Structure 1
Amino acid sequence: MKFGACYYPEHWPEERWELDVKLMKEAGLNVLRIGEFAWSKLERYEGSYDFSWMDRMIELLAAHGIEVILGTPTAAPPKWLMDKHPDIYMRDNKGIARGFGNRRHYCYNNPNYMAASDRIVTAVAKQYGEHPNVIAWQTDNEFGCNDTVYCYCDYCRAAFQAWLRQTYTSIDQLNESWGTVFWSQTYNEWEQIVLPAYTVFHLHNPGLELDYRRFASDSVIAYQKRQIDLLKQLAPGQPVTHNMWSEMNEINSFELSKDLDFASWDIYPNLCFTDQPDPRASAIQLDMARGVKQAPFWVLEHQSGAPGGNIMFPTPRPGELRRWTYHSVAHGADAIVYFRWRTCLFGAEQFWHGILPHDGIPGRRYDEVKHVGEELNRLMPLIEGSSAGAEVAIIRSYENEWVMDIQPQVMGHRYIRHFKSYYRYFYDHHIPVDLLSDEADFSRYRLVVLPHYMLSKPEAKQRIYDYAAQGGTVLLDFRSGSRLWDNRMSDQTLPGIYRELLGISITDYGILREGQTRSVQLSQDTHSYNAQTWYDVIHPETAEPIAWFGEDYYTGSPAATCNRYGQGAAYYLGMEPQPALMNALMDRICADAGAAPIQGIQVPDSIELTRRVSGEGREYIFAINHGTDLQSITLAEPLYELTTEQTIAAGTIELPGNGVFLFRKDHPLLG
């Protein structure tokens, strides 16, 4: 396993390096990420490269058996470059340049920046492309961080126009697709097309808005591809990754990952404004990291101390670093690189704490990292490369998320919030789930959930129909099939292209404002439930109602339905269930689909239960106590616990606060 930290040798006196590396080795670190912000140190003056300091750093690490992940330093272009080409600065939707002083202040479509970026990546790759101690490359750093994808400069406008020429066969086709006859917005020439910048009422054509978001995402992907092509040419034996992060949606992470050898993610479990962070918030990011390439991933920045720029977030308490690390491994991380080794004494991240504090003296966090390293060095060979064994997939569609961002339809509603309501159910019920693109192969899943699936390509639609026909269970919900790929509204009776699959027609619909609910009854259930956000007035055609509205003019009409299609089933939710209703509906749907929780271990609510499954079918089940209190869990059978290296008898056992059990459950055929 790769177990390490982010280190910035340019931040520290060279006479300190030897001590740092010695401490790293004693803590069990075997890899460092370096270089991703070192452009001005590598090229202080244009064309004058100094690799001597990095050479010495890499050789020092090699002498101690510590390998290197090397970052291309393009996330922070130096001042001399920005002064020479001020047009590199991104411009906001009012045309104002972002300015110097932070990072990610460049435009992805600026030709001067592309040329400068090519030069520095080429120089670094030539220097280290065949170095035996450089084991991988990281492109740039956190594309999209700090709202840095949408640029409204003249270069982006020209690039957008060129992108549209490739997308549409003619200007008339574009006009037809966008419906530019509305408000007299018809374009006669490609050069007339504008970016969706600041305007009256902040309202632009929805087709323009969606295509701009597609273009902006593609621009980042194309920019990264330039770097990858250079690295593959000059460093052919070294894999390339990128450290994605958060749940941000400015870039389609599925598309960004296609050119990478493996995915990586940055994870900060307590980068929030509460003393008790919700572990589901980090779990969903980790599952997203695993889902973008449907494979294990690396964590290239893992929280090791209190984050903070001008303010600080909570300091990790004893045991939390270990718990967070196992949380990441449980969801598919095959490498852990902590951010950062030592807390910086200067700059914009003085309060972003690392393994070592400002004084550089090892303390509690260092000891905890050392302990975790010792454990993982023993355990990871057993589980490295294994999958989640998920039987459920949730489809995250960036296209539909962008559409909902552009036109939420209900004030305050967000796609990602709705998406998380499904994820919460599976997490709480210990049902492993994969988060996938709609281009993925659904065939091995028992249940596929497609939140707000408003628009889709014909091939995706066919894949969904085929999956259900061949025995899969599909779940769609309100607004499904309501739009065409160009973001026009469909003129088909809702749910549009999914009407046959779902066996319903929708004759009316409406919004429920924040705080408004409607009662819902389930068949053979006397409980009272509530729905929010939306209501569809559903007419069953071949579908069977499984829930009904209990008030308003649509009283008695179905709120949710099930349609048998081929050998499978297609469910539809015509409203947003509140938590109790979501649980009741999903219990039924999962039972019907055969999507079962992890078996053999009963745990209280504060315990996370997840697993990794080896290629031979051996299960490794993680029980993680995200609380501080002692909790009881019950084993249905004796299980071998790997952290303590002992077999635990069936029955009730105690798991301390922040504690972790890792059980091995052998497949019957394995003995």
Structure 2
Amino acid sequence: MYFGACYYPEHWPEERWEKDAKLMYEARFNVIRLAEFAWGKLEPSEGEFDFSWLDRAMNVMRQYGIKFVLGTPTAGPPKWLMDRYDAYQRDLNGQVRGFGTRKHYCMNHPDFHRCTERIVTQMAQHYGALTDVLGWQIDNEFGVCDTARCYCDHCLQAFKVWLQQKYDTIDAVNEAWGTVFSSQMYRSWDELHLPTYSVHPHHSPGLAIDYRRFASDSIVDYQRLQLQILRKYAPSHLITTNTMGKFNQLDHYDLNKELDLCALDVYPNMKSDPKARPSYMAEQLDITRGFKGGQNFWITEHQSGSPGAVVLYPTPVPGEIRRWTYQSIAHGADAIMYFRFRTLPYSIENLWHGILQHHGEPGRKFEEVKQIGQELEQLAPLLAGTSPQAKVAMIRCFDNEWSLELQPHMEGYEYIKHFETYYNYFYDRGITVDIVSPEASFGHYELLVAPNLMMAKDETVQSLYRYVEEGGCLIMDFRSGAKEMSNQITQKRLPGAFRDLLGIGIEDYGIIEASQQIGMRDLKSGEVSAAKKWYEVIDILDLDSAAQPIAVYTDGYYRDTPAATRRAHGKGCAVYIGTAPDQDGLYRLLDQLVEETRVKTDFAHLPDGVEAVIRKEAGAGGRELLFIINHSFSEVSVPLSSGYRDVWTNQAVSGPIELAAQDIRVLLLSS
């Protein structure tokens, strides 16, 4: 287990470094992250390098047993570089993203690529053989602050090459995008353009989604440029990049494919609803674990103070840093690096608070972090080799998320918010979830949820059919199969490629206006809940194994027709929900489906605000750690079966346990 913080020696007088190192040692730190924004200090003029200050800082830290994660500094290119090569991004209106912040460079600028190769090579040659460098973080938060997409001439030329490789002929582009509409046909590659704003802000959905895919691939290619250098000169070091779990400016599955591990930057107090913060945090952690198929990850920036640039978000109250930290570890974090060690007194992050306040003296947050460090010394050996083990998975698909951003279908509709209605059910029921790519292997999951899977590659469609035939339970919902990968609406009868799997046809569909009262009756319980946002009129197909209604509409011209169906198919079942039920209705349906599968939880009836998560060693008889986290600000009593031992007191634990406000217990299952 790695435990530490982000530290920027270039921000502080050199005589201060020793004091900071002593404080880190006192807090049981064993790692710091360095240098990801230090390009201007490392290469103050083109081709002139100065690593001496960073070497001295690392020498101070290593005397206290601290190891390093080094950042390639490409997220903050210096002024001399940006001005000399005009490497600035252009926005949708062709305006230059000026200097003064970060991430203002173009991913496809050839001179910027050359400068990147030079600084990364110099750093990798200088530090690549050091055994106390654990690994590298490439760049910083690709895509953050809407910086994934540039609209300059370099990007236009690169986009044309990308399209030529994908489609081969301009006629194929015209066919995929449907350019016959409104005389938008292209006669040659030279006529292609970017989806920039003109008089009308909307572009062909085919052009728009391909540009998002191209921009994502450009980031992956730019990362690969750095990755290859680091692999050459630092072959024994781990390589990652830090992501923001829910950000969708790029396809994070592609981004993480060639990396050694995933990393996350997480700030739960930036969520506006305090009651939603624990599930929001859990979701980000599970999303990150899914970027490499359920693999544990690092947290390269973990909230340690109030975030903010021009306004402040809530300050973590006493006990909150500890609570967030253990939630992160429970969900698979094998490294915690707080952002930041000391709060900066100047520039645009002078309101982004760290462990130490601006004055640099230890206070109550430092004491809390020190307590965590002491506890982790005991816990770390038990964590080795353990990870969350899920029997449920949810498919998050960036293509579908982008498509619904471009054409949301309903006023204010967001793919990720709909996705979260399912995620929150599993969180509330204490059921661990993996969040996976459409290209993942699904066979070991008992239950699989695929929200709004409008478009899917043939391989994914075949994989979902096979998953159900071999015994899995698949849940799909409205708009499934409605689009081709080109972002064209399918000309097949809905639900398109999934029609034979689900055993249904969609006769009609439409939005449910906010003023409408449309009910949905659960046929098992008889309970009526509200159908929201969208309806689909479902026909049952005449197949050998017919779908069965499990809920029907109570209102509208489609009254008494199925709102949700279940079809037994092969050894498994395929469920379809043709609307967006309110929480009671959705939870009732999901409770029934969980009950009929082998998905089990011992934590379905926890007190409000309490989370229970298991990290387990793979294999029969593997070590099992139970994390019980009280996210509430009240004392709670938690029911518990016998057979556990407290990892910090080594005392046996059975029956109900009492947790103080914001308290945590970590229990080892007795063998």
TM tier, smaller: over 0.9
Equivalent residues in 2 for 1:106-121 (5 A)?
A: 106-121=105-120
CA 1:74 to 1:436, structure 2 compared with 1: closer, same or farther past 3 Å? same
Q: Which amino acid aligns with 2:610?
A: I
CA 1:54 to 1:193, structure 2 compared with 1: closer, same or farther past 3 Å? same
1:609 shift after superposition: 1.4
- How far apart, CA to CA, are the structure 2 residues paired with 1:151 and 1:385? 42
In the other structure, the counterpart of 1:295 is 295
In the other structure, the counterpart of 1:130 is 129
- How far apart, CA to CA, are the structure 2 residues paired with 1:369 and 1:459? 47
In the other structure, the counterpart of 2:13 is 13
- How far apart, CA to CA, are the structure 1 residues paired with 2:276 and 2:598? 32
Equivalent residues in 2 for 1:28-427 (5 A)?
A: 28-86=28-86, 88-274=87-273, 278-293=277-292, 294-427=294-427
Q: What do you get for the CA RMSD once the two structures are aligned?
A: 1.2
SS state at 1:348 partner: helix
Q: Which of 612, 617, 621 is equivalent to 1:614?
A: 617
1:661 shift after superposition: 1.2
Q: Which of 586, 592, 596 is equivalent to 1:588?
A: 592
1:618 shift after superposition: 3.2
SS state at 2:613 partner: strand
Show CA shifts across 1:631-668 (max 9, x none): 11111324212233211232x221111101112224xx
Moved more, 353-362 or 547-556: 353-362
- How far apart, CA to CA, are the structure 2 residues paired with 1:402 and 1:384? 38
In the other structure, the counterpart of 1:603 is 606
Moved more, 330-339 or 52-61: 52-61
In the other structure, the counterpart of 1:518 is 518
- How far apart, CA to CA, are the structure 1 residues paired with 2:490 and 2:301? 43
1:82 shift after superposition: 1.2
- How far apart, CA to CA, are the structure 2 residues paired with 1:553 and 1:108? 52
Moved more, 297-306 or 199-208: 199-208
- How far apart, CA to CA, are the structure 2 residues paired with 1:203 and 1:328? 40
- How far apart, CA to CA, are the structure 2 residues paired with 1:569 and 1:275? 37
In the other structure, the counterpart of 1:534 is 534
- How far apart, CA to CA, are the structure 1 residues paired with 2:370 and 2:516? 52
Conserved? CA contact 1:158–1:191, under 8 Å: no
- How far apart, CA to CA, are the structure 2 residues paired with 1:540 and 1:592? 22
For normalisation by structure 2, the TM-score amounts to 0.97
In the other structure, the counterpart of 2:570 is 566
> How many residues matched?
664
SS state at 1:230 partner: helix
Conserved? CA contact 1:270–1:277, under 8 Å: no
1:273 shift after superposition: 3.4
SS state at 1:270 partner: helix
Conserved? CA contact 1:196–1:209, under 8 Å: yes
SS state at 1:352 partner: coil
Show CA shifts across 1:91-121 (max 9, x none): 1110000100100000101111111111111
1:388 shift after superposition: 1.3
1:127 shift after superposition: 0.8
Conserved? CA contact 1:58–1:133, under 8 Å: no
- How far apart, CA to CA, are the structure 2 residues paired with 1:604 and 1:21? 41
1:601 shift after superposition: 8.1
Q: Where in structure 1 are there 5+ consecutive unaligned residues?
A: none
Q: Which amino acid aligns with 1:197?
A: T
SS state at 2:386 partner: coil
CA 1:591 to 1:274, structure 2 compared with 1: closer, same or farther past 3 Å? closer
1:634 is the counterpart of 2:646: no
Conserved? CA contact 2:429–2:605, under 8 Å: no
- How far apart, CA to CA, are the structure 2 residues paired with 1:638 and 1:55? 50
- How far apart, CA to CA, are the structure 1 residues paired with 2:57 and 2:641? 52
SS state at 1:299 partner: strand
In the other structure, the counterpart of 2:654 is 649
Q: Which amino acid aligns with 2:631?
A: H
SS state at 1:533 partner: strand
1:610 shift after superposition: 1.4
For normalisation by structure 1, the TM-score amounts to 0.97
Conserved? CA contact 1:523–1:547, under 8 Å: yes
1:592 shift after superposition: 2.0
CA 1:538 to 1:600, structure 2 compared with 1: closer, same or farther past 3 Å? closer
SS state at 2:92 partner: coil
1:187 shift after superposition: 0.5
- How far apart, CA to CA, are the structure 1 residues paired with 2:591 and 2:457? 30
- How far apart, CA to CA, are the structure 2 residues paired with 1:385 and 1:181? 57
1:269 shift after superposition: 1.3
1:515 shift after superposition: 5.0
Conserved? CA contact 2:603–2:612, under 8 Å: no
1:291 shift after superposition: 0.7
Q: Which amino acid aligns with 1:624?
A: I
- How far apart, CA to CA, are the structure 2 residues paired with 1:660 and 1:116? 48
Show CA shifts across 1:25-78 (max 9, x none): 111000010000001111111111111101111122222210010000000110
Q: Where in structure 2 are there 5+ consecutive unaligned residues?
A: none
- How far apart, CA to CA, are the structure 2 residues paired with 1:76 and 1:165? 32
1:629 shift after superposition: 0.6
- How far apart, CA to CA, are the structure 2 residues paired with 1:644 and 1:366? 23
CA 1:440 to 1:275, structure 2 compared with 1: closer, same or farther past 3 Å? closer
- How far apart, CA to CA, are the structure 1 residues paired with 2:17 and 2:461? 56
- How far apart, CA to CA, are the structure 2 residues paired with 1:645 and 1:159? 60
CA 1:272 to 1:471, structure 2 compared with 1: closer, same or farther past 3 Å? closer
- How far apart, CA to CA, are the structure 1 residues paired with 2:603 and 2:211? 49
- How far apart, CA to CA, are the structure 2 residues paired with 1:331 and 1:536? 36
CA 1:514 to 1:385, structure 2 compared with 1: closer, same or farther past 3 Å? farther
Moved more, 442-451 or 264-273: 264-273
- How far apart, CA to CA, are the structure 2 residues paired with 1:514 and 1:24? 54
- How far apart, CA to CA, are the structure 2 residues paired with 1:16 and 1:241? 30
Show CA shifts across 1:71-92 (max 9, x none): 0000011011112112x11111
Show CA shifts across 1:333-392 (max 9, x none): 000001101011111111111111111111111111111011112112212332211000
- How far apart, CA to CA, are the structure 1 residues paired with 2:380 and 2:53? 34
- How far apart, CA to CA, are the structure 2 residues paired with 1:601 and 1:97? 53
Conserved? CA contact 1:73–1:140, under 8 Å: yes
Conserved? CA contact 1:395–1:451, under 8 Å: yes
Give the share of equivalent positions with the same residue, in percent.
Answer: 47
- How far apart, CA to CA, are the structure 2 residues paired with 1:602 and 1:662? 19
Show CA shifts across 1:96-151 (max 9, x none): 00100100000101111111111111111111111222110000001111110111
Conserved? CA contact 1:601–1:634, under 8 Å: no
Conserved? CA contact 1:196–1:208, under 8 Å: yes
In the other structure, the counterpart of 2:449 is 449
Conserved? CA contact 2:442–2:467, under 8 Å: yes
SS state at 1:635 partner: coil
Conserved? CA contact 1:393–1:435, under 8 Å: yes
Show CA shifts across 1:166-223 (max 9, x none): 0002111111111100011100111211111102331110110110010010000100
Q: Which amino acid aligns with 2:450?
A: L
